[in-house]
């Protein structure tokens, strides 16, 4: 027994070290880390601004999304597709308010809500332009409970994120093997095509009634639909023609079944594509903390967190886009 | 770096650095914790001034079976990465520079123990390269930043940067709270001097405790890796076995225990003996010792130099076989 323990010690490898409990005593104390209490304190006013102008949007006391107060009458912006069913809002002072939805915008995935209160004047976030979002700039947001912040840096070049069409969850074989269509070389388990009944070896002949001869045609015809849309797929199986209705899935969710990264990422936002422009950063925030404001070192709001992409990537809509949408909401 | 050099450093530079500590300014990036926004801003300015200097040395590595990241560390195109990115020696791969250009490369060696890997760009050229930190220059609490191409090369997104602190640094593994994604594997971790201190290896379940290969692992086994030798865990199982449990300290690789019934115990090695050399090869870290011993066969004889209570000694030891678990 003793020998075994020592062997483990001697030939301990990073592979085995995923359980880091063994050497916890040798690790840097939590409070001195990037997101430790000491570092958080250094953010001073920015820290206070983040906490006082961010709200928790809940249903039955369960956090659904975060939001940011953009008007002293209690107007709050949040991520529209994550906020469905929110009934109450909680501010950092622990007060709770009933909620009313005012507007939604498909393009930016933002929604405007109002906290219902007769006399309260709410603290409003200050806007900053997004010039400060050069890669490697400090950014921060309120953490889920509105007691702490999370800090990090802008981690990639601001850019447009294109649309991801729906997918069936199949791997297509090579063209031109003389079968007059495109053969399915494998079916992703539990994904859309699998659930609909498509099988490995099926030869796709038509998509929504249109004859397909090349891989590109299949990809194009299927991909022109959104996740959730139903596509009619005709196949030849052992020379018998069959037809299936496939309810398309999200590309990321479907193929990420294979992706160990995302298995270890925890839940990610369902909509994380098709944004006119985003700021990428690395704050460790869960999926239900999207919709809240993102601040710079000066405590100005430079964007709204709009999608948790994976364990190290969050997209935020830059403030100019958010303000543009807000003006539209308020009819200005 | 060998121990003579280290000894020289210790003798000549230690008192000097102690002196300096008393009076010179402490840079914010070396301070344990920033105290206010000004400190944070200085960290940001420093990071943003270093990025353009080092980004050009980060490559995306493309092999048949996947993608990873790496960093060029020599003018003639040696690239450090993770062992699990190269997989095996003498494999043809491609590296992609930040400008999008692809160049052929070949995998050299590495070690599955630490996950250190090396490859070389085969096209002759004068490549932009990053400087490596020297042995032992990283401490707990140091600020650092990781670069990489998670998910492969993406010109619009560019190289991804994440900042963090060194939270653990022991033997073959460095840990930081700089966040990582699998595709970052093989990418460099820099200190705030702009030197490579580690290579991204594995993610942990906790997003803020990731694993990196310390630069020391490369420095100690440089020739072995460069000569396309890949140390595998299966080689370790079959190779010669001494039977010591060791740890790395400032004084060198120290024996914690000579395991009962092994060659180490029979030869009289004791806890607190410092291992100096095997067959004349200086031992800089624990991994190097393991690689040297496991490269021998059971029943091979080695010459082991060690230090006990300040006195250097030497022993001839016949290695055993690793017990099966």
pLDDT in tens, A103-157: 999 999 999 999 999 878 999 999 997 665 789 999 999 999 999 999 999 999 9
In 3-state terms, what secondary structure has residue A20? helix
Residue B269's pLDDT band (cuts 50, 70, 90): very high
Instruction: Look at residues A39, A302, A272, A128 and name the one whose alpha carbon lies nearest to residue B163.
Output: A39
Q: For residue A175, what pLDDT is reported?
A: 67
- CB atoms B44 and A297 under 8 Å: yes
ipTM metric: 0.82
Instruction: Look at residues A316, A272, A308, A312 and name the one whose alpha carbon lies nearest to residue A130.
Output: A316
B244 inside 8 A of chain A by CB: yes
Specify the CATH class of A166-253 in words. mainly beta
Give the predicted TM-score (pTM) of the model.
0.83
Residue A166's pLDDT band (cuts 50, 70, 90): confident
The residues near B42 (Cβ < 8 Å, ≥ 6 apart) are: B27, B28, B29
Q: For residue A255, what pLDDT is reported?
A: 66
**CATH among 3.40.228.10, 3.40.640.10, 2.60.15.10, 2.40.10.120 for A40-161+274-329:** 2.40.10.120
- CB atoms A14 and B202 under 8 Å: yes
Annotation: CATH topology of B232-321? Pdz3 Domain (2.30.42)
A 88-127 → B contacts, CB under 8 A: none
pLDDT in tens, A51-100: 999 999 999 989 999 999 999 999 999 999 988 889 999 999 999 999 99
**Residue of B50, B152, B161, B289 best to disrupt the A interface, most CBs of A under 10 A:** B161
- CB atoms B40 and A138 under 8 Å: yes
Separation in Å, CA of B77 to nearest CA in chain A: 26
pLDDT in tens, A207-260: 999 999 888 899 889 989 988 899 999 999 998 999 999 999 887 666 654 555
Q: Tell whether the model's pLDDT for residue A263 goes beyond 80.
A: no
Q: Give me chain A's average pLDDT, please.
A: 85
Tokens at residue A260, please?
């160990």
**Nearest Cα residue in chain B from A280:** B157
**Hunting for tokens 């940011």 — which residue is that?**
A68
A 265-284 → B contacts, CB under 8 A: 280, 282, 284
Residue A188's pLDDT band (cuts 50, 70, 90): confident
Residue B208's pLDDT band (cuts 50, 70, 90): confident
- CB atoms A310 and B181 under 8 Å: yes
In whole angstroms, how far apart are CA B107 and each of B67, B81, B88, B91, B265? Answer: 13, 10, 7, 5, 39
> Once rounded to an integer, what is the mean pLDDT over residues A182-205?
90
**CATH among 1.10.150.120, 1.10.10.2840, 2.40.10.120, 1.10.3720.10 for B26-230:** 2.40.10.120
In whole angstroms, how far apart are CA B260 and each of A68, A71, B264, B303, B316? Answer: 64, 73, 8, 20, 18
- CB atoms A155 and B161 under 8 Å: yes
Name which of A173-177, B27-31, B119-123, B202-206 the model is least confident about.
Answer: A173-177
Name which of A18-32, B35-49, B266-280, B296-310 the model is least confident about.
Answer: A18-32
Q: For residue B205, what pLDDT is reported?
A: 75
* Nearest-angstrom CA–CA distance, B49 and A152: 17
- Which residues of chain B lie closer than 8 angstroms to A44, CB-CB? 36-37
In whole angstroms, how far apart are CA B149 and each of A128, B84, B92, B96? Answer: 29, 16, 20, 10
Residue B147's pLDDT band (cuts 50, 70, 90): very high
B 55-94 → A contacts, CB under 8 A: none
Tokens at residue B264, please?
């180490």
Of A45, A284, A311, the CB nearest to B181: A311
| Residue-range domain boundaries for chain A | 40-161+274-329, 166-253
**Between B83 and A173, the higher pLDDT residue:** B83
**Residue of A40, A282, A286, A299 best to disrupt the B interface, most CBs of B under 10 A:** A282
Instruction: Report the percentage of chain A scoring pLDDT > 90.
Output: 63
Instruction: Report the percentage of chain A scoring pLDDT > 70.
Output: 85
Q: Tell whether the model's pLDDT for residue A17 goes beyond 50.
A: no
Q: Give me chain B's average pLDDT, please.
A: 88
B 115-144 → A contacts, CB under 8 A: 115, 140-141
Q: For residue A300, what pLDDT is reported?
A: 96
B168 inside 8 A of chain A by CB: yes
> Once rounded to an integer, what is the mean pLDDT over residues B294-310?
94
* Nearest-angstrom CA–CA distance, A131 and A147: 28
The residues near B209 (Cβ < 8 Å, ≥ 6 apart) are: A20, A27, B167, B168, B175, B177
Q: Are A141 and A289 in contact (CB under 8 A)?
A: yes
Q: Tell whether the model's pLDDT for residue A2 goes beyond 50.
A: no
Name which of B8-22, B23-37, B147-161 the model is least confident about.
Answer: B8-22
């Amino acid at each position: 027994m003793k020998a075994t323990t020592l062997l483990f010690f001697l030939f301990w490898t990073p592979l085995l070290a995923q359980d880091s409990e063994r050497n916890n005593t040798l690790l840097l104390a939590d409070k001195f880390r990037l997101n430790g209490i000491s570092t958080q304190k250094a953010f001073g006013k920015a820290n206070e601004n983040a906490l006082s102008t961010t709200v928790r949007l809940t249903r039955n006391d369960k956090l659904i999304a975060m939001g940011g107060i953009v008007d002293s009458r209690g107007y709050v912006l949040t991520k529209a597709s994550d906020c469905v069913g929110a009934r109450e809002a909680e501010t950092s002072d622990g007060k709770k308010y009933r909620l009313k939805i005012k507007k939604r915008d498909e393009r930016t995935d933002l929604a405007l809500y109002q906290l219902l209160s007769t006399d309260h004047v709410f603290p409003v976030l200050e806007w900053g332009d997004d010039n400060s979002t050069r890669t490697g700039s400090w950014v921060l947001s309120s953490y889920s409970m509105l007691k702490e912040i999370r800090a990090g840096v802008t981690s990639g070049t601001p850019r447009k994120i294109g649309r991801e069409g729906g997918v069936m969850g199949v791997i297509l074989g090579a063209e031109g093997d003389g079968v007059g269509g495109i053969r399915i070389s494998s079916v992703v388990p539990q994904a859309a095509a699998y659930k609909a009944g498509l099988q490995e070896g099926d030869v796709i002949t038509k998509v929504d009634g249109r004859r397909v001869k090349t891989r590109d045609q299949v990809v194009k015809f299927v991909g022109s639909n959104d996740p959730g849309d139903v596509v009619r797929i005709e196949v030849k199986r052992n020379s018998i023609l069959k037809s299936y209705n496939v309810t398309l899935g999200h590309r990321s969710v479907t193929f990420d079944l294979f992706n160990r990264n995302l298995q270890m990422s925890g839940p990610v936002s369902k909509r994380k594509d098709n944004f006119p422009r985003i700021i990428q950063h690395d704050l460790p925030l869960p999926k239900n903390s999207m919709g809240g404001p993102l601040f710079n070192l000066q405590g100005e709001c430079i964007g709204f967190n709009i999608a948790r992409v994976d364990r190290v990537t969050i997209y935020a809509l830059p403030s100019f886009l958010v303000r543009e949408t807000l003006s539209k909401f308020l009819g200005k | 770096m060998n121990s003579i050099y280290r000894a020289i450093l210790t003798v000549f530079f230690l008192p000097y650095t102690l002196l300096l500590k008393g009076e010179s300014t402490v840079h914010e990036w070396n301070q344990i914790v920033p105290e206010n926004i000004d400190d944070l801003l200085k960290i940001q300015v420093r990071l943003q001034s270093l990025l353009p200097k080092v980004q050009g040395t980060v490559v995306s590595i493309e092999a048949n079976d996947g993608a990873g990241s790496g960093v060029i560390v020599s003018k003639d195109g040696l690239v450090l990465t993770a062992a699990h990115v190269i997989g095996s020696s003498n494999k043809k791969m491609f590296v992609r520079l930040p400008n999008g250009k692809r160049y052929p490369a070949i995998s050299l060696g590495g070690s599955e123990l630490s996950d250190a890997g090396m490859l070389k760009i085969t096209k002759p050229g004068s490549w932009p390269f990053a400087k490596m930190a020297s042995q032992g220059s990283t401490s707990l609490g140091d600020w650092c930043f990781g670069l990489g191409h998670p998910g492969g090369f993406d010109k619009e997104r560019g190289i991804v940067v994440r900042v963090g602190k060194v939270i653990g640094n022991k033997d073959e593994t460095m840990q930081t709270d700089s966040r990582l994604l699998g595709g970052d594997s093989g990418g460099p971790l820099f200190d705030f001097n702009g030197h490579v201190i580690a290579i991204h290896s594995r993610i942990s379940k906790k997003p803020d405790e990731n694993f990196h290969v310390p630069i020391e692992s490369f420095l100690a086994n440089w020739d072995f890796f460069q000569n396309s030798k890949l140390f595998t865990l299966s080689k370790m199982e079959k190779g010669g076995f001494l039977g010591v449990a060791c740890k790395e300290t400032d004084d060198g690789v120290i024996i914690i225990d000579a395991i009962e019934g092994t060659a180490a115990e029979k030869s009289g090695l004791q806890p607190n003996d410092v291992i100096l050399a095997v067959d004349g090869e200086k031992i800089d870290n624990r991994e190097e010792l393991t690689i040297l011993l496991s490269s021998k066969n059971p029943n091979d004889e080695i010459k082991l130099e060690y230090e006990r209570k300040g006195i250097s000694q030497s022993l001839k030891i016949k290695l055993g076989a690793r017990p099966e678990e």
